[in-house]
Each structure stands twice: as C-alpha cells, then as structure tokens.
Structure 1
Amino acid sequence: MGVNIKNPYIECAHFPAQNPQEELFAWLIDKGMSGNAVRDLFTEFCERLSELGIKLKRGNIALSAIHPQVSAFMYTWRRGEGLVLNTNVLHTDVPGEGWFSSPFFFMLTNNINFLHRKLESETELDFPVLVEFRDEGMTDWFCQVFDFGWDFDDSREMGGLVTSWASDRPGGFTEEEYTILHRAIPLFALAVRSIASFRTARSVLETYIGKDTARKVLSGQVRRGSVESINAVLIYADLKGFTKLSDTMPQTELVEMLDLYLDHMASPIELAGGEILKFMGDGILAAFALTDQDVPAICETALQAVNRMKEGVRKLNDDRDASGEPTMGLDIAVHIGDVMYGNVGSETRLDFTVIGPAVNEVSRIEVLCDTLETDFLASGEFVKAAVGCKQELKSCGFHALRGVREPIELFLLG
C-alpha cells in the first residue's frame, strides 16, 4: 500500500492512523499481514522509532526457531550503523559464560517477562553486559519477553521472542518515549509472531516432506485424492548391513551413524535439484521431475548425483574403517516412469507422496543388486531416455521383477 500524500498518516485501511504514532502501529499491522522477513521488519521498526524522535541507541531481538539445525535467529541494530548482527544460533552451539551471566538467561529461567535497568543511576549493575552498555554511553535499558505459545518439550527453551532496547539520552527514555514503546513493541512482537508462524510451518513441512511438496501443500493442495501425473527419474537407495548392526550397536550410536549415511545419500540429490520423497528406515526414495525438452539432461544430472552418492559413502566408509568404526554398503536403483504425485490417505491423515507401478518397480530393481552382485542397477527405460549416458552403462540382461509381468532389461555402470 502506498502512502497518501495529503495525509501521510493513512497507510493501513484496517487501522486508519490519525498521528505519527498511530501510523507506526498501522504499519506494524500491515507488515504482520504481509509476511516480510523478520530481519527487515526489525530494521525498519528501529528506524521508524528513531524517526519519531525516540533516542534509541540499540535494539536486539532473539527469535526462537523450529528448525532442524537452527534454534534461534538473533539480530542487533545500532543507531547510525543499522543491522550490526545477523546470526543463527545452532542446536549444536554450546552456550558460553556470557549467556549464563546474561539478563536473558536470568529472565527465561525465572519466568520473568519484563526487566528494566537505569544504567547511569544504578552504581551496582547485576549483569556484566549492562556494565558494558553503560561504558559505551547507554543510559537506559529494558527487556521484554513474548511467549508465542509454542510448547517446547524442553522446559529450558522458550518458544517466542526476546527483545531489548537501550537509549543514550541523558536520564534515559522519556515518559513519552515509554508510552510509545510500550504500545509499539507488543504490536511488533505480534507482527513477528504472524510472520514466524508461517515460516515455521514452511520450515517444518520442508524438513519432513521436501521443498517442492511443502510448496504444494502451503498453496492449498491438501484435499484427499488430489494428485497429478508426472514423469520422473526415480532413485531408490538402500543401506546394506543396517539391520545386523541394529542388533549390536547402542541406539544413540546407531541413529547417529544412520543420520550420517543418509546425509551423504541425500545431499547430492538435493544439490542437483532432485527431491527426497521418503526416508524409509535405512533407505531413500528420490525423484527428478522430467520435462520433454530436458529429459536427457535431467537423466544425466540424476546419474551424476548417484555417482556422488556412491563416492561420498565410499569415502565415509574409508574414514570409518580407518578409525575402527562399523560401516555400511549402499545399493542404488534408477528407473524412469509415470507416477501419481499427491495426497493419499484417510480423511484426517494424509501423505503427500508418489504412487504407481514405477515406484514399485524401482524398489524391486534395487532388491536384485545382491543377486547380481552389484551396487547399482538402472532400468532399460532409464537408459533409453539417458541418451548422453549410454557409454557409462552396460546391459546385464533381462530379469524378472516380483509382481511385474514381463522381464525388464537392467544395466550396470560400465
């Protein structure tokens, strides 16, 4: 929405503004509904507060994340410098002493939602970071915590937003500034929650069902039986020896090892533009969607991804074998065919997946790897389409697949 030149305070039709402060509130409502990036929202919010005459020297936010790698996003803004910190806190990061001695840690562990310190008038500050702020010339600081209602299982984590704000005005924030801040910051937190909730949903869906499938689901394709037919290269990869190891290894070590192998299998596919459709215990089903004009090129890309999978697992096995750790082999089958891609399931529980004869066939081709003493098999249908890869593949004859009427020709890597 553009700004009305005659009345610059009218920006949001849902909340007509009558003065500069209400214009800020209207802007926050608009941004919360539009879904802009939290980083950009925070930066502009700090700038707009400054434009209102608020002597804001520093603003900082930490936003909880529901993400497989990231536990929180952190941003810091300083007047005259803009955004000076833009970082992700990983689940694997080990907190330092600074965290345990911080006001944030104190507030979260004691269920405190608001903390205020007058930096220039309090001679004995109770947190080292506030002493640093005072030494930098800041005079006033307060922190607000907003719980988004994301009930994390770990009681030490809070699902929401932690914000802190500091002034360098002599005497600190004025009463008028506090009036604006105490109204604007909760609106800012609500806008962040609106943006973060959608992005969290997208992150969770991408984590569990893949980026392309997540996009389809979030675009409203959630009706049972809603499917589309696509032509795709299918890759079925399965680890060898996992079942035997599962009887002898501690569970924690077993899962860590499995994750390590699956990462080496999945990463080459995702980097090549394919999509992991399923993690099935110790295996994966992946697909490269085809278009008529790109079929040979996509087949070649898929085969390159397979070679990188094989090489990655081989190097992993070399490293683990050298250190005396257990290893697993990898069998891979590649096929091509029409599959149905969409929602299948009960009225209340759906799975967004691929079904069809080609899916069954690629899994049964993989089973023959042991019989034919190889770690790779490709179907004749794939070889016909992969015209640029035929010199890499050699026939090993026709073989029967369980449940398939006619034997099919299979190929090895030459």
Structure 2
Amino acid sequence: MPPDIDPAAALTENDVVRWLTTETRDQRFIDNLFAELCLRLQRAGIPLKRASLHLLIQHPQWLGARILWINGAQEATITRVDYDVTQRPEFIGSPVEEIQGGVSEIRERLDRDPAQGRKHGVYDELRAQGLTDYVAWPMLHTLGKKHMVAFSTDRVGGFDDAHIATLQRLLPLLALVSEIRMKNRLARTLLETYVGAHAGEMILAGATRRGSGATVRAAILICDLRDFTRISDSWPRDDVIDLLNDYFDAMSEPIARHGGEILKFMGDGLLAIFPLDEPKACANLLRAVTEARQAMAALNEKRAAGSAPLRYGIGVHVGDVMYGNIGSKARLDFTVIGPAVNMASRLEALTKQLGKPVLLSREFADLVASEFKLEHVGEHSVRGFAEPIELFAYHG
C-alpha cells in the first residue's frame, strides 16, 4: 500500500475506479495490482475475504497462472498451472472449466446445504475456511481471450446485491488493466523464449534497429550433435523432435543455470555466450559444460537398449563479438558475429577430427587453467585462419 494512503480510511466505488484508471500506470505487476485492488475494495465496503485471478498465459512451460489474495495480505501469491491440468480432478468440473466452457456467471452460496450446490471439491475447501459466498465471472480480453476472476466473503448472508453490482461494474476496468500487464509480460516472455533474457531486455529497451548493437567481450560456446542427418533421415519425425528436445534440455539447462545466454538453436546445434563482464564467466562456462556432459551421459543411459549413444562436439573460444541486430529491413536476428564466433565454430568442427568432444582455444584455456584440468592437444590448422591454433581438450 502506498505510504501516503491511510489504510483505515474509507473509500467509495468512484475512488476505486479513479485509482484503477489514473493511478496504476506505474504498477508493472498484475499480482501487486490485484492485491491492492482487493484492499481498496474492502475499504470501499466490499466484505472480501478471498479473491483470485485465473489467467491463461502463452508460456512454453505453463498453461496458466492463479493469482490468489487472502484477507489481510499485502501481496498476492502466484501459482503456475501445468498444461496437463485439464486432465486433473481439480480442473474437471471446476469454476474455471465452467467459465472457459461459456458460463457467464457462477454464484455458490457456501452457507447453504452442500447437497443443493455444485459438487466440486473447491467449494468444500472454501466452506471449510468459513466462507459463505463465492462469485466468479469471465474476464474478457481482446481477440476472444477469456480468463476468470472470483471473489469470496465470510459475511453472514453472503454478498448483497449492492456488493455484486459494484464488483460487476469494476470488471471491465480490471480486464483492461490486467490485459495491459499481461501483454507486457507476454512480450517479455516471448523475447526471453526466442532470443534470450539479456537480448530480450535490450530489444525492449529499444535496440530494434538494424545494425544497432555493441561490441562485447565474451566466451563463446558452440555445440553440435553428431550424425543428426542420419538420425533425421531414418527416424520417425516425432521421435527426432523428442530426441532434439532431450538433447537441448541436457545442454541448455546447465548453460542457463551458470549465467550463459543461448542466442540461437541451429538445427541440431546451439550458440551461447558468457559475457566477460560477469565474474568467473569462463569458469562458469566450463562448469556448465561439465553438467551438460553429465546430463548427456544420463540421457544416453535412459535411451532404449541397443541405441547408439548420442555424440556431440563443443568448441569454446573467447574474444570480442558484435552483439546486436542483423538481417533484412523487415526481419532481424539478434545474434553475435565476428572472428571469435568463427573460431568457436571451427573448433567444434575439429572435435570430430581429433576425437575430443570438447576443444578450447589457448586464449580461453589461459583464463581457466589454474582452476580446471586441461589436456594439451598441440597446434592445429583451422580453416579460415592463417596460423595454426594451440588447442586444449576438456574432459570434465
């Protein structure tokens, strides 16, 4: 609650409307906005004890989210909802399913004989909390997007007609302010999903012009799966997709966990950077490689008996790269380019020739040699570079 507002002061419905329309522009997060709305509704005479928002979101891991406010709380809690929730008992026959199915209002008098009401377990839970009345409505966004908002009270006799009318009048405003924040979050989520968190932040900050970017010193990692052409030619399509997803999970999760940023997936390969402005970036890259190799070993053990183990090559170098927007006038890619990226790519290709799954350049090895055990594998010619390159293998 803002410090200049007396939490004990009474409000009118018009005060709540004014706040929603003119005073929420600086509130980025829908959960905080919803909690404050509930507190203001209480001060406006609505006997709220519990309220929830049920939102369908576009996220690669979750179908939706529930934002729950409980009486007395200054903040709401957020629970993520998995895609398989629609097959679970907590969803089947629930208010959310009814609203998504086209019901325009749900009203459940919890203080009446349960046999006369709906049978879903959520009503028993609310009844056990001492609540007497429950109401839910669809919250409509543009392009047919439908979410749900629900309110409960413990007032004897439940909500009266004036309470219900006030809540209904506020629904369009709540839909408007929630959609704005969901669109903002969606934009951020999509950028994080498709270009990475750091690149997404730069794009949201205005780096959308072709050629815009910066020179960054970074450790570069390029990984590629071996024999993918043979696999993709001989395996069913869905099995190939599942295999790629498992492989990318094994490689990507350690990279993200240790501060790296995956800029692109390239067929069966990936490109990631660890900017050197982060302390111990190079050491973190090798820690990520260690965990990725362990994850790949576990994946190979899990695969069907008789399947050939998945093999891969990783090339690592360090240097200055141009980090920014490249492409056509209408279609851009946020990526890194430069000789350092080319070197990492060449080292990855050499892993097959030298039989070493992970190859490091001398420049990178010098930055981690005191902390990691490396194998010196001599100087080797690298396509596109005039002088032979001194290489090291890492077996961690």
TM-score (norm 2): 0.88
Q: How does 1:369-388 map to 2 (within 5 A)?
A: 369-388=351-370
Verify the 8 A CA contact 2:31 2:76 in the aligned structure 1: no
Cα separation, partners in 2 of 1:357 and 1:175, compared to 1, 3 Å: same
Cα separation, partners in 2 of 1:139 and 1:303, compared to 1, 3 Å: closer
Please tell me whether residue 299 in structure 1 is matched to residue 292 in structure 2: no
Distance 2:75 2:308 in 1: 47
Corresponding residue for residue 401 of structure 1: 382
Verify the 8 A CA contact 2:139 2:148 in the aligned structure 1: yes
Distance 2:252 2:28 in 1: 31
Distance 2:221 2:320 in 1: 14
Corresponding residue for residue 411 of structure 1: 392
Please tell me whether residue 392 in structure 1 is matched to residue 373 in structure 2: yes
What is the deviation of 1:346? 1.3
Q: Deviations over 1:62-103 (max 9, x none)?
A: 111111111111133343578786421112445323422223
Cα separation, partners in 2 of 1:335 and 1:81, compared to 1, 3 Å: closer
Match of 1:263 among 244, 249, 253: 249
Verify the 8 A CA contact 1:32 1:195 in the aligned structure 2: no
Question: Unaligned stretches of 5+ in structure 1?
Answer: 10-18, 152-158
| 3-state SS, counterpart of residue 91 of structure 2 | helix
Distance 1:351 1:130 in 2: 47
Please tell me whether residue 203 in structure 1 is matched to residue 189 in structure 2: yes
Please tell me whether residue 70 in structure 1 is matched to residue 62 in structure 2: yes
Deviates more, 1:70-79 or 1:58-67: 70-79
Distance 1:289 1:137 in 2: 54
Please tell me whether residue 340 in structure 1 is matched to residue 322 in structure 2: yes
Give the count of matched residue pairs: 390
Corresponding residue for residue 275 of structure 2: 289
Please tell me whether residue 364 in structure 1 is matched to residue 356 in structure 2: no
Q: Deviations over 1:162-205 (max 9, x none)?
A: 11123333443223323321222332232221111111111111
Q: Percent identity?
A: 34
Verify the 8 A CA contact 2:63 2:83 in the aligned structure 1: yes
What is the deviation of 1:134? 5.8
Tell me the amino acid that sits aligned with residue 35 of structure 1: Q
Distance 2:216 2:71 in 1: 53
Deviates more, 1:65-74 or 1:159-168: 159-168
Deviates more, 1:71-80 or 1:126-135: 126-135
What is the deviation of 1:34? 1.9
Query: CA RMSD of the aligned region, Å?
Result: 2.8
Distance 2:156 2:78 in 1: 29
Q: How does 1:184-263 map to 2 (within 5 A)?
A: 184-263=170-249
Tell me the amino acid that sits aligned with residue 91 of structure 2: W
| 3-state SS, counterpart of residue 172 of structure 2 | helix
Verify the 8 A CA contact 2:51 2:150 in the aligned structure 1: yes
Corresponding residue for residue 105 of structure 2: 114
Verify the 8 A CA contact 1:119 1:130 in the aligned structure 2: no
Distance 1:100 1:371 in 2: 56
Corresponding residue for residue 165 of structure 1: 151
Q: Deviations over 1:382-403 (max 9, x none)?
A: 22333525x6223322222222
Distance 1:375 1:137 in 2: 62
Deviates more, 1:197-206 or 1:241-250: 241-250
Distance 1:343 1:84 in 2: 38
Question: Unaligned stretches of 5+ in structure 2?
Answer: none
Distance 1:386 1:53 in 2: 64
Distance 2:315 2:23 in 1: 48
Q: Deviations over 1:49-68 (max 9, x none)?
A: 12222122332221111111
Corresponding residue for residue 143 of structure 1: 136
Cα separation, partners in 2 of 1:264 and 1:218, compared to 1, 3 Å: same
Deviates more, 1:131-140 or 1:331-340: 131-140
TM-score (norm 1): 0.84
Distance 1:103 1:311 in 2: 44
Q: Deviations over 1:129-150 (max 9, x none)?
A: 5763567654443221123235
| 3-state SS, counterpart of residue 235 of structure 1 | strand
Distance 2:146 2:64 in 1: 10
Verify the 8 A CA contact 2:139 2:171 in the aligned structure 1: no
